[in-house]
């Protein structure tokens, strides 16, 4: 692995901070300095949404266009922005002050609509608020409104985390347990990865521990890009120490000395808080050499910023990005636990998984297995947004039905619920008796409630626009097929989709699923299939051409 390359993305972001964008001259200069072909630099620059390829305004306004934002008024906010700035989305004002863009979900769904102005986040927007923010920017008064840990009036129950005695898991492990015993505790607990894939955490740690290699890595996947998910941001804001404790435990268990938090660019505002927490841990000898006096156990953590690409939430794409490449998923095997970052054994765990691992080591597997169901142990955090009166983060035991969850969040009477984000499953009202757990709906944690009257074609259009935008382009089915499905939705909206063409598109949906390399393409057609299966009458209500 060429060392220069590792610095590529941080270098590109630093150039952008200085000059506002990465010019072709800068790319050529970097290519010469790092001895990397200019075409590859260009490939990286053009891959990430948050690396500017051309000059932009002093204030870059990015309005989130996830479904929760759309449902809560993002379109009227967009109108206000267009009117105030006199430009369309994708344009910059002639005086160079403002650039206006749509962006994918920024993790503020329960306070939607929301937007970023440069790296600051503004939420619960209304048109008058937007007008004031623009005026403040014009007068350069724009006040910092940090949102870290700010859950406002929103419900946020995280009982297991708030009652955790800080570092008690790490202290127990170092003083009383061997690395193998830590892995054993995790394995017996039945904890599965909370990012969505659900791979058993103890098994993952064990594979990495047994893998050959004197250098190993622990990566915390904080690239929380699944639309509708915001729990990881709140964990990082309120319980960062729990996550760092979990990473250190993983380091102890598998024999790693370096941890990396891969933080999505949209969460730049959380970084100062995380850096301060890391500094305090170093001060307290919870990171560094001979941690808590344990001879020979050294571990430290650094933060690496993502640059805006949903697919980097996939662990091999994340590793590619960390190595200074386009964030495109790799073929597996080999899996990261054998050959990950720089070809070394690497554990990639989600934020929630690591925080939960700390609680388990502190309290024991028995505590965890006493919660949940036979096949789904413990609790899970759910990010709830959309048409409900009590959006927010909920810590719940596995095994609840969708209906029970809806009652809790005051969303009863819903038409459908998207469980697991856009790559999850659309559950119609007739199936609200289904169980949230690996035996049925084993989900990543995003719940979007759709009330009666929501247009399911608009929902499908929104999802497919997202997938078209975020496809990395490696697989033909995903790259071209999703665009075809989006076109099919547009035809359905206009009433110009024949039955035959609709059937062709359903066939195409299944092909995309089977020919795609990663979870994005494997799940992206599900919304098209679901609206045809559950809402056929509604989507065919518009005049449709005969076959």
**Sites of contact with ligand SF4 (CB under 6 A):** 311, 329, 471-475, 478-479, 516-518, 520-521
Q: How far is the CB of 220 from ligand SF4 (least distance, A)?
A: 22
Q: Output 400 or 478, the one with its CB closest to ligand SF4.
A: 478
Q: Output 239 or 467, the one with its CB closest to ligand SF4.
A: 467
CA atoms within a 13 Å half-sphere pointing along the CA-CB vector of 80:
20
Contact (Cβ atoms closer than 8 angstroms) between residue 326 and residue 472 = yes
Q: Output 478 or 502, the one with its CB closest to ligand SF4.
A: 478
Contact (Cβ atoms closer than 8 angstroms) between residue 491 and residue 483 = no
Q: How far is the CB of 167 from ligand SF4 (least distance, A)?
A: 38
Instruction: Classify 496 as helix, strand or coil.
Output: coil
Q: How far is the CB of 514 from ligand SF4 (least distance, A)?
A: 11
The single residue listed with the structure tokens 């499953």 is 425
Contact (Cβ atoms closer than 8 angstroms) between residue 9 and residue 265 = no
> How many Å apart are CA 174 and CA 177, to the nearest integer?
6
Q: Output 392 or 477, the one with its CB closest to ligand SF4.
A: 477
Q: Output 152 or 473, the one with its CB closest to ligand SF4.
A: 473
The CB density around residue 279, as the number of other CB atoms within 10 Å, is 11
Contact (Cβ atoms closer than 8 angstroms) between residue 205 and residue 347 = yes
Q: How far is the CB of 518 from ligand SF4 (least distance, A)?
A: 3
**Residues β-bridged to residue 375:** none
> How many Å apart are CA 22 and CA 12, to the nearest integer?
7
Q: Closest residue to ligand SF4, Cβ-based?
A: 521
Strand ranges (E), 440-541: 446-450
Contact (Cβ atoms closer than 8 angstroms) between residue 217 and residue 258 = yes
Q: What is the 3-state secondary structure (H, E, C) of 372-407?
A: ECCCCECEEEEEEEECCCCCEEEEEECCCEHHHHHH
Q: How far is the CB of 544 from ligand SF4 (least distance, A)?
A: 30
Q: Output 253 or 468, the one with its CB closest to ligand SF4.
A: 468
**Is 354 exposed, middle or buried, given 0-12, 13-18 or 19+ CB atoms closer than 10 A?**
buried
Q: Output 332 or 434, the one with its CB closest to ligand SF4.
A: 332
Q: Output 192 or 517, the one with its CB closest to ligand SF4.
A: 517
Q: Output 489 or 520, the one with its CB closest to ligand SF4.
A: 520
DSSP class per residue in 323-384: TTS---PPPSSSPTTTS-GGGS-EEEEEHHHHHHHHHHHHH-HHHHHTSB-SSSBSEEEEEE
Q: How far is the CB of 515 from ligand SF4 (least distance, A)?
A: 8
Q: How far is the CB of 257 from ligand SF4 (least distance, A)?
A: 31
Q: Output 480 or 544, the one with its CB closest to ligand SF4.
A: 480
Contact (Cβ atoms closer than 8 angstroms) between residue 451 and residue 414 = yes
> How many Å apart are CA 124 and CA 281, to the nearest integer?
34
Contact (Cβ atoms closer than 8 angstroms) between residue 434 and residue 401 = yes
Q: How far is the CB of 538 from ligand SF4 (least distance, A)?
A: 28
> How many Å apart are CA 450 and CA 428, to the nearest integer?
9
Q: How far is the CB of 310 from ligand SF4 (least distance, A)?
A: 8
CA quadruple 192, 195, 199, 200: dihedral positive or negative?
negative
Q: Output 47 or 382, the one with its CB closest to ligand SF4.
A: 47
Q: How far is the CB of 84 from ligand SF4 (least distance, A)?
A: 36
**Residues β-bridged to residue 19:** none
DSSP symbol at 181: H
Count, in order, helices (H) and strands (E) of the chain.
24, 14
Q: Output 147 or 474, the one with its CB closest to ligand SF4.
A: 474
DSSP symbol at 111: G
**Residues β-bridged to residue 392:** 155, 384
**Residues β-bridged to residue 385:** 448
Q: How far is the CB of 239 from ligand SF4 (least distance, A)?
A: 31
Q: How far is the CB of 469 from ligand SF4 (least distance, A)?
A: 11
């Amino acid at each position: 692995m060429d060392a220069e390359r590792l610095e590529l993305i941080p270098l590109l972001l630093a150039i952008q901070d200085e000059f506002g964008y990465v010019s072709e001259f800068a790319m050529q200069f970097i290519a010469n300095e790092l001895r990397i072909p200019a075409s590859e630099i260009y490939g990286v620059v053009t891959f990430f949404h948050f690396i500017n390829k051309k000059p932009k305004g002093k204030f870059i306004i990015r309005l989130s266009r996830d479904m929760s934002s759309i449902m809560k008024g993002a379109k009227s906010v967009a109108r206000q922005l267009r009117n105030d700035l006199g430009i369309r989305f994708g344009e910059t004002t002639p005086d160079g002050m403002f650039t206006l863009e749509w962006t994918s979900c920024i993790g503020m769904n329960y306070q939607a609509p929301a937007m970023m102005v440069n790296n600051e986040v503004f939420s619960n927007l209304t048109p008058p608020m937007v007008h004031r923010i623009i005026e403040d920017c014009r007068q350069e008064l724009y006040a910092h409104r940090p949102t870290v840990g700010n859950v406002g009036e929103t419900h946020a129950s995280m009982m297991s985390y708030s009652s955790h005695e800080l570092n008690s898991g790490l202290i127990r492990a170092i003083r009383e347990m061997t690395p193998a015993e830590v892995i054993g505790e995790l394995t017996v607990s039945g904890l599965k990865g909370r990012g969505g894939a659900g791979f058993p955490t103890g098994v993952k740690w064990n594979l990495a521990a047994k893998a050959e290699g004197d250098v190993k890595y622990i990566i915390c996947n904080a690239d929380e890009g699944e639309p509708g998910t915001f729990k990881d941001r709140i964990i990082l804001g309120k319980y960062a120490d729990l996550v760092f404790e979990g990473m250190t435990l993983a380091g102890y268990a598998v024999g790693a000395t370096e941890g990396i938090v891969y933080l999505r660019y949209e969460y730049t505002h959380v970084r100062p808080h995380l850096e301060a927490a890391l500094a305090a841990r170093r001060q307290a000898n919870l990171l560094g050499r001979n941690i808590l006096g344990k001879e020979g156990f050294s571990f430290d953590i650094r933060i690496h910023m993502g640059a805006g690409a949903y697919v980097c939430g996939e662990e091999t794409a994340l590793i590619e990005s960390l190595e200074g490449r386009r964030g495109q998923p790799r073929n597996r095997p080999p899996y990261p636990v054998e050959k990950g970052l720089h070809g070394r054994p690497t554990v990639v765990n989600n934020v929630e998984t690591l925080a939960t691992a700390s609680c388990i080591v502190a309290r024991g597997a028995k505590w965890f297995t006493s919660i949940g169901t036979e096949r789904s142990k413990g609790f899970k955090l759910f990010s709830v947004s959309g048409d409900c009166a009590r959006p927010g983060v909920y810590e719940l035991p596995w095994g609840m039905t969708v209906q029970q969850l809806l009652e809790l969040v005051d969303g009863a009477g819903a038409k459908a619920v998207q469980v697991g984000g856009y790559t999850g499953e659309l559950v119609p009202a007739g199936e609200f008796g289904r169980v949230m757990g690996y035996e049925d709906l084993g989900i990543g944690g995003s719940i979007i409630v759709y009330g009666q009257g929501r247009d399911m074609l608009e929902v499908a259009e929104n999802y497919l626009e997202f997938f078209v935008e975020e496809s990395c382009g490696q697989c033909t089915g995903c790259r071209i097929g999703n665009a075809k499905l989006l076109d099919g939705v547009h035809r359905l909206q206009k009433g110009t989709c024949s039955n035959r063409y609709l059937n062709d598109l359903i066939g195409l949906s299944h092909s995309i699923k089977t020919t795609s390399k990663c979870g994005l393409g494997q799940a992206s057609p599900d919304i098209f299939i679901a609206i045809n299966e559950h809402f056929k009458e509604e989507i065919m209500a518009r005049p449709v051409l005969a076959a």
